[in-house]
Structure 1
């Protein structure tokens, strides 16, 4: 599967939305908000690593 920047940015935005929603749930005292925060941060981390990896591969291809 070819990863596009659009897909990776969308994944990053989904992670941000999950974290914001979890913060709202946490302020309301709902159960499970800790898990949502962790899930959102993991999604953001994975998306960030993939963006850096894709950009680094693009730079390597230009050097050749």
Structure 2
């Protein structure tokens, strides 16, 4: 039986944590005035996709995936 060991890394850009904090603050400030819960959910999904696309990098065995 063969063993294979790989190093998996997840690196976040420096701006991800402050950006998510600003997004949370924005949502908390506008949520009381919005009746449509679906619009808030769509906004959250859009922001999550942006962070995943531009702010998170994955590496497997030293190579970016």
Give the TM-score normalised by the residue count of structure 2.
0.43
Q: Select the structure with the greater relative contact order (CA < 8 A; seq sep ≥ 6).
A: 2
Q: Which structure has the highest helix share of the two?
A: 1
- State the structure with more CA Rg: 2
Q: Which structure has the highest strand share of the two?
A: 2
Give the TM-score normalised by the residue count of structure 1.
0.44
